[in-house]
């Protein structure tokens, strides 16, 4: 009898774990021209795009753990991605305790760069991981992940996955 209960519990755990793997989704909305896959059900939509505001925002469990904001940037045709990154860096460089990190090359559906930095938020160590994805000569999408430094580091595979699956409709 005890053996049967152990087997039932074991299979219950296996089934639950396998269902958690399917608890993902895809973001797509008629008000924006892009989509991306969400690797975990913990990502919750907090700002839905509309006809007047194309901004999309997600949190991972809550805003302090991780926050994602997607923005579309229009750049000059000959603009270097490093110049676009410097412009965004100027916007965050005055955060308390700001320390710029390294830039990385990134490849998914689109090539781009990642800019990392650390800062202090409400007395806690925080970090940012900004993905700059060039989709054409004049458009760069910015995926801004910010949040608790340790949490953001532990879900880096998810932030990379979201950026890798980022796709523009019609391309």
pLDDT given for residue 12 in this prediction: 39
Cβ contact 113:136 at 8 Å: no
CATH: 3.40.50.1100, 3.40.50.300, 3.30.360.10, 3.40.1000.10. Which one for 24-168? Answer: 3.40.1000.10
Read off the pLDDT of residues 55-92 as tens digits, 9 standing for 90 and up.
999 999 999 999 999 999 999 998 999 999 999 999 99
For residues 161 and 164, what is the distance between their CA atoms, to the nearest angstrom?
A: 5
Read off the pLDDT of residues 95-134 as tens digits, 9 standing for 90 and up.
999 999 999 999 999 999 999 999 999 999 999 999 999 9
Domain ranges of the chain: 24-168
How many C-beta atoms surround the C-beta of residue 13 within 10 A? 10
For the chain, the first-to-last Cα distance in angstroms comes to 59
């Amino acid at each position: 009898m005890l053996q049967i209960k152990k087997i039932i519990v074991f299979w219950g755990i296996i089934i639950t774990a396998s269902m958690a793997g399917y608890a993902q989704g895809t973001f797509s909305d008629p008000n924006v021209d892009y989509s991306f896959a969400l690797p975990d059900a913990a990502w919750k939509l907090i700002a839905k795009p509309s006809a007047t505001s194309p901004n999309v925002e997600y949190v991972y469990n809550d805003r302090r753990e991780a926050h994602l904001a997607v923005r579309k940037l229009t750049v000059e045709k000959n603009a270097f991605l490093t110049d676009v990154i410097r412009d965004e860096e100027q916007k965050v460089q005055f955060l308390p305790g700001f320390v710029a990190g390294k830039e990385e090359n990134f490849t998914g559906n689109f090539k781009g760069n990642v800019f990392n930095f650390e800062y202090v938020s409400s007395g806690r160590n925080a970090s940012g991981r900004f993905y700059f994805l060039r989709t054409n000569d004049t458009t760069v999408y910015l995926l801004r992940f910010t949040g608790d430094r340790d949490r953001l580091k532990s879900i880096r595979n998810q932030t990379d996955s979201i950026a890798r699956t980022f796709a523009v409709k019609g391309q």
